[in-house]
Structure 1
Amino acid sequence: MQKISFIIFLFCCVFLKAQQHEFWLIDIQTEKRTLVKDSIEATKFLDSLSQNYYYLTELKNVKKEGNKTEIYFNKGKNFNEALVKIDDEIAKNTKLEKHFFTKNLDSLKKIINENYRNQGFTFNRVKSKFLRMENEIPEVEITVNKGNPRIIDGFIVKGYEKVPKRFIKNIEKEFQEKKYDDQNLLKINQSLQNHPFVILEKPPQTLFTKDSTQVFLFLQKKKSNTFDGIIGFGNDNSEKFTFNGSLNVNFKNMFNGFETVNIFWQRNPDKGQTFDLKTDIPYLFKSNIGTNINVNIYRQDSTFANVKFLPSLYLHLSNRQKLGLRGTFVTSVVMDSLYVQAKDFSKKGIGVWYDFTEPSEVELFLYKTRIRAEADYFFTNYSKENSNKSQNNLYFLGERNFYISGNNYLNLKAETALINSKNDLVNNELLRFGGWNSFRGFNENSLLADFYYYGSAEYRYLVGNQAFFDIFAQYGQLNNKNLSLKPKLYSFGIGFNFFLPIGLMTFQISNGNEFGNPVKFSDTKIHWGILSRF
């Protein structure tokens, strides 16, 4: 036992003594001193210099004093620094001088390589040739073997292959016969990211043959059916606490045609109900022409009911843009003979619309950008008065999510609408807005106007990829000629959105009023809902 203890003691002494030994590496050019732990590390350090273009490194002297060893070395010339000579073509393409000095030859060759890649010369080779030493600096000539230019010849879909043929033809129309370069590959990738019906499983891959360049798209069918339910709590006109809500069900791409069937129902605190059925088929007869048919029914308790039929045809300008032509057929019936603020009428008209949607990189946000513009022209017949009037209707919606920094985002939204008519409008044909997805802080469809506008600013803070908080404020104004009202309105509130296993949960508290009126706690609106995909 004593022998073992002595051996352990002797080993510890030797180990501690070795630990105290210092190895200093001293660069005689810069007098920079570097401390390493042992001779092996010192050797590795000197070897690393040659790997960084100091090919002529020399060991000048080694001094040992006690527990300190000093190693003096001269790095010599860095051969990554050079005088460069290039021909007229390279100088023109890179906008460089024909003869210049560079401190990083490798970086320069990489820049030239990428420059030619962006011109479609995917397999170009950049070569450097040593010419001479001039004032102890190597002079190098750079040449480029461009090879044959590459263009995108076609696309091959793997995985989910039942996508509409027109969808692939549109991608081919946009990218086929364009240069094969990193920029176009990035655009292809971005055009399919966050697509409403397909998922790009991995970045596009490429098959090169002698005569063609084929891009492979690895797609997966997306779970795009959605159920959106909202429950709201607020006050009606008599300031009684009421329950309201909405249901929104979307059946999407069930037949692999990117088609959509949307069913929407809403009940507001003032006993109004909305039912909306919409069908969208994007590629009729494998063309870029799509159709959208919308039936909308609005009933205000037992007072009146409006029925709208909106058939539409549209053209795909791109995967994100649509331009449409639609017809409008509206019938309104007053059911309460004592209600004198409404009239029986029917409308027929034609209109145009434009729709642009840009998907968001943030899964919690529905989109990054959304624009909707509509213009309609009507002929309105008031049956009991046997009169016909012409009217036009304009509508615009714009919304955008801006990235600020870190987890901070800003959502800006603006909406406006106008009914222009030579006659006085009645209540059952006025524009209706307000509610949790419109002008928040007010009951659903409780604001009536022949013209309105509002804007909103919403600060959003992301908590990872699963939730975000928001604080919002809105300002707007409406015009109601019948009541000679032009109130300026405001609202504010907070919200919280987060992912659960069943979907995206939304919780929102808001309050709104007219400028000049005090804020009432009793006017607070609470909405809770969930968006689930299946």
Structure 2
Amino acid sequence: MKILYPIFLLFFCVFFKAQQKQYQLIDVENNKKTTVKDSVSAVKFLDSLSQNSYYFTQVKNVKKEGNVTSIYFVKGKNFNEANITIPAEAAKLSKLKTEFFTKNLDSLKKEISEKYRNQGFAFNRVKSKFTGIKNNIPQVEISVVEGNQRKIDAFVIKGYEKVPTRFIKNLEKEFKGKTYDDRNLVAINQSLQNHPFVLLDKPPQTLFTKDSTQVFLFLRKKRSNSFDGVIGFGNDKTNKFTFNGSLNVNFRNMFNRFETVNVFWQRNPDKGQTFDLQADIPYLFKSNVGTNINVNIFRQDSTYATVKFLPSIYLHLSSRQKLGLRGRFESSAIIDTLYTQGKDFTKQGIGVWYEFTEPSEVGLFLYKTRIRGEADYISTNYNKENATVTQNNFLFSAERNFHISGNNYLNLRGETALLNSKNEFAANELLRFGGWNSFRGFNENSLYADLYYYGTAEYRYLVGEQAFFDVFGQYGEFNNKSLNLKPKIYSFGLGFNFVLPIGLMSFQISNGNEFGNPIKFGDTKIHWGILSRF
């Protein structure tokens, strides 16, 4: 009996299944069959046709043979295809004719509604009215109920509410009174994307009332303090293997005023050391005026030392642009009396500068675009010679990240600087460049010039949001009148950057030389760095 029980159960299931009813829906026009499990599913299928613009679907016949019920139907005309008539104003806004044929009425209505929404009519309604059939084509009239036009009236900060008052006023200055549309919402989102001090927890949201439109920004204070350390390996001028490196510490927004205090120290292989202290306060007295104070000390072993003091005041032209006026006070003293290439001097001057920054959508890149220009008028006094001359100092740099396709990016960067005067420059007042952040493949600040320019092309391959690899090449020229040098130089290399729990790690291998000289393996420079935020 125990053996017969499962056989009986299997027979019962097969028999029950055979007794179940089936419903077949057959399209008369193309004889296409659709099988459903019950009558409720058959009704839902027929209803779905009317919801997809087959409004005149008709059941022509129903046949029942055993457990199979066959339903024959005709979909009729698809009313999503129609001859359209729309008002002249809607036609002008949508760049359409007032009468035309469309194969997708639903899509057309969405397109017209989108056009009105982009004009601030957030609650517009696009209506369609069936007026008959002509030449077997449905005739439809479209009308638009615009509603009230909406404009951005105010911003409401939620979450991190201790942002500077001027920060909110600048947002209102840029967007208040503008049409409430997707384009301006995207612009608001982009203006806060990768902001140095705040994060958007979620996209901007909107509260509509009868008389106002308020945009809510859900902000969070960003961990913006940073520690940036770089260790370099390479040979000095005597081909002796040496270590060099830099430390860069930023204390930012500790008092919720978007302020920055930056401390930088660097040692190059030729025993030169740089100490730089900079303080920046962007909104003085809740205004759009900011101040930047910079003290820079450079000492070349026991040969000479130079001190610069650069007080600056600037105006925020927009959230991305600054225009500044600065003073320049500089003093240099020769320590080694046997060093005849340098001179004791003091400088006083005034200058202007401009800066534009655009944040990057890629968190691993510092900027999408950065442009900086400087111009200084300087009076220089050579102490021992009791001579005073005027000089001009110019600098221009630009950087841009281009998205090629997929994970491929191209970083282009260029920089040029000029120190201009009728007199011959001393070695300790020349421009210095070269190294990790300028012309790679050369030691830090090892190139001296009164004029230089160079360009960098760097291919970057992004690996997710955690790492990218890069290959770069550089070309440059510089002029040193005192030594009668005008070399053409190059550098090349590769590296990788990836995110660790402690921060962003960078590793770079580079080599460079003057055109015409052979590449030397001993001139290879290796840099390893870590950028950590806290």
TM range (shorter): over 0.9
C-alpha displacement of 1:501: 1.0
Tell me what 2:8 maps to.
Answer: 7
Tell me what 2:318 maps to.
Answer: 318
Tell me what 1:438 maps to.
Answer: 438
Using a 3 Å threshold, how does the CA distance of structure 1 residues 45 and 190 change in structure 2: closer, same or farther? same
CA distance in structure 2 between the aligned counterparts of 1:399 and 1:467, rounded to whole angstroms: 20
Tell me what 2:393 maps to.
Answer: 393
CA distance in structure 2 between the aligned counterparts of 1:123 and 1:476, rounded to whole angstroms: 58
CA distance in structure 2 between the aligned counterparts of 1:495 and 1:348, rounded to whole angstroms: 41
CA distance in structure 2 between the aligned counterparts of 1:444 and 1:63, rounded to whole angstroms: 90
Tell me what 2:502 maps to.
Answer: 502
Structure 2 counterpart of 1:510, which letter? Answer: S
Contact 2:353 2:374 in 1 (8 A): yes
Using a 3 Å threshold, how does the CA distance of structure 1 residues 239 and 52 change in structure 2: closer, same or farther? same
Tell me what 1:194 maps to.
Answer: 194
CA distance in structure 2 between the aligned counterparts of 1:388 and 1:120, rounded to whole angstroms: 63
CA distance in structure 2 between the aligned counterparts of 1:66 and 1:434, rounded to whole angstroms: 90
- Secondary structure of the structure 2 residue equivalent to 1:190: helix
Provide Cα deviations, 1:131-167, integer angstroms capped at 9, x if missing partner. 2222232222211121221111111111111111111
C-alpha displacement of 1:34: 5.8
CA distance in structure 2 between the aligned counterparts of 1:185 and 1:324, rounded to whole angstroms: 30
Tell me what 1:286 maps to.
Answer: 286
CA distance in structure 1 between the aligned counterparts of 2:154 and 2:454, rounded to whole angstroms: 46
Provide Cα deviations, 1:454-505, integer angstroms capped at 9, x if missing partner. 1111111111111111111111111111111111111111111111111111
CA distance in structure 2 between the aligned counterparts of 1:12 and 1:82, rounded to whole angstroms: 51
CA distance in structure 2 between the aligned counterparts of 1:440 and 1:94, rounded to whole angstroms: 53
Contact 2:325 2:351 in 1 (8 A): yes
Structure 1 counterpart of 2:8, which letter? Answer: I
Structure 2 counterpart of 1:10, which letter? Answer: F
CA distance in structure 2 between the aligned counterparts of 1:361 and 1:260, rounded to whole angstroms: 23
Tell me what 1:141 maps to.
Answer: 141
C-alpha displacement of 1:204: 1.4
Contact 1:22 1:35 in 2 (8 A): no
- Secondary structure of the structure 2 residue equivalent to 1:400: strand
Structure 2 counterpart of 1:478, which letter? Answer: F
Tell me what 1:239 maps to.
Answer: 239
CA distance in structure 2 between the aligned counterparts of 1:15 and 1:415, rounded to whole angstroms: 84
CA distance in structure 1 between the aligned counterparts of 2:87 and 2:60, rounded to whole angstroms: 41
Taking structure 1 as the reference length, the TM-score comes to: 0.94
Q: Unpaired segments of 5 or more residues in structure 2?
A: none
Structure 2 counterpart of 1:261, which letter? Answer: V
Contact 1:460 1:470 in 2 (8 A): yes
Correspondence 1:275 to 2:275: yes
Task: Name whichever of 373-382 and 267-276 sits farther off.
Answer: 373-382
CA distance in structure 1 between the aligned counterparts of 2:344 and 2:47, rounded to whole angstroms: 93
Please show how residues 172-251 of structure 1 align to structure 2 within 5 Å. Answer: 172-251=172-251
CA distance in structure 1 between the aligned counterparts of 2:348 and 2:126, rounded to whole angstroms: 68
Please show how residues 81-100 of structure 1 align to structure 2 within 5 Å. Answer: 81-100=81-100
- Secondary structure of the structure 2 residue equivalent to 1:522: helix
Correspondence 1:353 to 2:353: yes
Structure 1 counterpart of 2:511, which letter? Answer: N
Contact 2:22 2:38 in 1 (8 A): no
Using a 3 Å threshold, how does the CA distance of structure 1 residues 382 and 201 change in structure 2: closer, same or farther? same
Taking structure 2 as the reference length, the TM-score comes to: 0.94
CA distance in structure 2 between the aligned counterparts of 1:35 and 1:124, rounded to whole angstroms: 39
Correspondence 1:449 to 2:453: no
Using a 3 Å threshold, how does the CA distance of structure 1 residues 137 and 223 change in structure 2: closer, same or farther? same
- Secondary structure of the structure 2 residue equivalent to 1:532: strand
Tell me what 1:458 maps to.
Answer: 458
Give the aligned length.
532
Correspondence 1:484 to 2:484: yes
CA distance in structure 2 between the aligned counterparts of 1:61 and 1:495, rounded to whole angstroms: 74
Tell me what 1:409 maps to.
Answer: 409
Using a 3 Å threshold, how does the CA distance of structure 1 residues 6 and 256 change in structure 2: closer, same or farther? same
- Secondary structure of the structure 2 residue equivalent to 1:342: coil
Using a 3 Å threshold, how does the CA distance of structure 1 residues 460 and 36 change in structure 2: closer, same or farther? farther
Q: Unpaired segments of 5 or more residues in structure 1?
A: none
Using a 3 Å threshold, how does the CA distance of structure 1 residues 231 and 84 change in structure 2: closer, same or farther? same
Provide Cα deviations, 1:268-325, integer angstroms capped at 9, x if missing partner. 0000000000010111111111111100000000000010000111000111110001
CA distance in structure 1 between the aligned counterparts of 2:483 and 2:13, rounded to whole angstroms: 97
Provide Cα deviations, 1:205-249, integer angstroms capped at 9, x if missing partner. 112221111111111111111110001111111111101100000
Structure 1 counterpart of 2:310, which letter? Answer: L
Task: Name whichever of 300-309 and 181-190 sits farther off.
Answer: 181-190
- Secondary structure of the structure 2 residue equivalent to 1:122: coil
Contact 2:152 2:177 in 1 (8 A): yes
Tell me what 2:526 maps to.
Answer: 526
C-alpha displacement of 1:8: 4.8
- Secondary structure of the structure 1 residue equivalent to 2:76: coil
Please show how residues 162-181 of structure 1 align to structure 2 within 5 Å. Answer: 162-181=162-181
Structure 2 counterpart of 1:251, which letter? Answer: F
Q: Give % identity.
A: 73
Tell me what 2:469 maps to.
Answer: 469
Structure 2 counterpart of 1:259, which letter? Answer: E
- Secondary structure of the structure 1 residue equivalent to 2:473: strand
Contact 1:294 1:311 in 2 (8 A): yes
Provide Cα deviations, 1:48-88, integer angstroms capped at 9, x if missing partner. 32221112223456789999998754321111222222222
Provide Cα deviations, 1:378-435, integer angstroms capped at 9, x if missing partner. 1111111111111111111111111111111111111111111111111101110010
CA distance in structure 1 between the aligned counterparts of 2:363 and 2:492, rounded to whole angstroms: 25
Structure 2 counterpart of 1:6, which letter? Answer: I
Structure 1 counterpart of 2:302, which letter? Answer: S
RMSD, aligned α-carbons: 2.4
CA distance in structure 2 between the aligned counterparts of 1:17 and 1:498, rounded to whole angstroms: 63
Tell me what 1:370 maps to.
Answer: 370
Provide Cα deviations, 1:95-116, integer angstroms capped at 9, x if missing partner. 2222222222221111121211
